[in-house]
Chain A
Amino acid sequence: MTGIIIQSRRSPIALRAGIAPELEPAFSSETKRLASQVDALFRHQRSPTSLEQELLPGKTISERLFDALASAKVLTASVAMHLDRARRDKLFQQLDSLHDLAEWEEGDEPLQQSSFGTFLKAMLTVHPQRQPGLGLSHAGHLIGAWTIDRDHLTIEFLPNDWVRWVLTRYKDNEPRRFAGQTPVSELTEGLAPHRPEHWFSYEGRQRQESPR
């Protein structure tokens, strides 16, 4: 079994996808488009702390779940132009399901809005063709899961634009595991050695499945 931890030394504060004007000629139009989409999120987002749920003593858990969902949907609406209708509807369905009161685990935190902001930035940057299954950590961090047979990629979207991820790929019936923690802007770079198309594209999966 092998493993690697990628720990970026860059400060989360330094994270911005925007391209300095003097460097613009060096970037492709696709990179510029992605940067402007990610920047749109920064413009719409308030400070991370202002986005968290208020812990008012009088609020019931069902009110807190409702508030968390409403905030996530408002934040999604601010980047709605970058998500097609079907994708947005499915995302809302997944979020509703995660916040179903009948399934709610006592002591868990509802979705933290700063985690959801990180998730949206990741999705706009990576643009996965295959969307993730979603989960929620007990601290209220959104979790994205891509699964192909026994191969797993799991990304936990942390507050303040950080992600931590772990992946398992089987080779000769033995699992290989890799993990990392990076700013969301470096997620693509962190996953690059691990064939991200395997997880994110239908073509990657088909290539994997085709006889060799």
Chain B
Amino acid sequence: MKGGKGKNLPDKDHVIRYVPWGRLRKDEDENVLGFLPQAFQLRPEEQYLSINWLQYYDGDRETQIRLSVWAMRGSFAKPLGAKSAFAIGNVAEVKETCHAFGNRVRVVHEPEPNNPGHSAIRQLLRDDLSLLEALAADAFTERVSNSDIPPKPADPPGHEI
């Protein structure tokens, strides 16, 4: 198994975060333009920002994104909205963006039973809107729509012994 609980993710790797419809940056006609700073804001009860490690999975980039999204979908209690999206950022960019605001974060692997690529941005400042805006604009620069990722195929039947 790659990584391991609490291990730092390599700087060259990428992480992906689920962003609900309400935290997507839109124009007045609801065209999606990016992410709001609040997409990266910790909830009061959260100790870290949840992300997934793309390179946990082997394969080309498209495969890594698809497998990560399937794992994230499976870890939520209800289906993710069709208009929601995923934000992708480079690990080093995330750390450098935070560092520019005096915030030294750690980007570490935090596997969960139903989501082995689950990871975390730890020690992120809770309420610095400028930092959150920088993460939204400068660090998480790629957007993938949830609707662009196909559903996970059901396990083929007939494999019972």
Minimum CB–CB distance from B15 to chain A (whole Å) comes to 19
| A154 CB contacts on chain B under 8 angstroms | 25, 36-37, 129, 133
Say yes or no: B83 contacts A137, CB within 8 Å.
Answer: no
Q: Does any Cβ of B come within 8 Å of A161's Cβ?
A: no
Cα separation A108 to B137 with both chains bound (whole Å): 23
**CB pair A143 B36 closer than 8 Å:** yes
**B81 and A106 contact, CB distance less than 8 A:** no
Given known contacts A100-B81, A103-B83, A107-B43, is B130 in contact with A133 (CB within 8 Å)?
A: no
Closest residue on chain A to residue B45 by CB atoms: A107
How distant is B23 from chain A, measured CB to nearest CB, in Å?
Answer: 6
* Chain B residue nearest to A5 in the complex (CB): B130
Among B38, B77, B132, B133, point to the contact of A135 (Cβ < 8 A).
B38
Q: Which of A134, A156, A168 contacts B26 (CB 8 A)?
A: A134
Mask, A165-178, CB within 8 Å of B = 1, is 11010000001011
- Size bracket, chain A contacts: 35 or more
A135 touches B24 (CB 8 A): yes
Q: How far is the CA of A150 from the CA of B134 in the complex (A)?
A: 12
B100 close to chain A: CB less than 8 A? yes
Q: How far is the CB of A110 from chain B (nearest CB, A)?
A: 10
Q: Is B84 an interface residue (CB 8 A)?
A: yes
Distance to closest chain A CB from B136 (angstroms): 8
The chain A residue with its CB closest to the CB of B78 is A106
Contact yes or no, A97 B21, CB < 8 A:
yes
| Known pairs A100-B21, A105-B22, A179-B130; A147 contacts B27 (CB<8 A) | yes
Q: Across the interface, do A166 and B133 meet the contact criterion of CB distance under 8 Å?
A: yes
Interface hits, A1-26 → B, CB 8 Å? 1, 3
Kindly state the separation between the CA atoms of A103 and B84 in the bound complex, as whole angstroms. 7
Across the interface, name the chain B residue whose C-beta is closest to A103.
B81
Judge whether A82 is part of the interface by a CB distance below 8 angstroms.
no
Per a CB cutoff under 8 Å, which of B30, B34, B83, B133 touches A177? B133
Measured CB to CB, the nearest residue on chain A to B129 is A166
Q: Which residues of B contact A168 (CB under 8 A)?
A: 133, 137
Which residues of B approach A to under 8 Å, CB–CB? 20-28, 30, 33-34, 36-38, 41, 43, 76-78, 81-84, 100, 129-130, 132-134, 137-138
Q: List 24 A-B residue pairs with CB atoms under 8 Å apart, sorted by A's residue number.
A: A90-B28, A94-B28, A97-B21, A100-B21, A100-B81, A103-B21, A103-B84, A106-B76, A107-B43, A108-B20, A131-B28, A135-B25, A136-B23, A137-B38, A145-B33, A147-B34, A154-B25, A154-B36, A154-B133, A166-B129, A166-B133, A175-B134, A179-B129, A179-B133
Residues of A within 8 A of B (CB): 1, 3, 90, 93-94, 97-98, 100, 102-108, 130-138, 143, 145, 147, 150, 152, 154, 156, 164-166, 168, 175, 177-179
User: 7 smallest A-B Cβ distances: which pairs?
Assistant: A103-B81, A133-B26, A105-B20, A136-B22, A103-B21, A131-B28, A166-B129
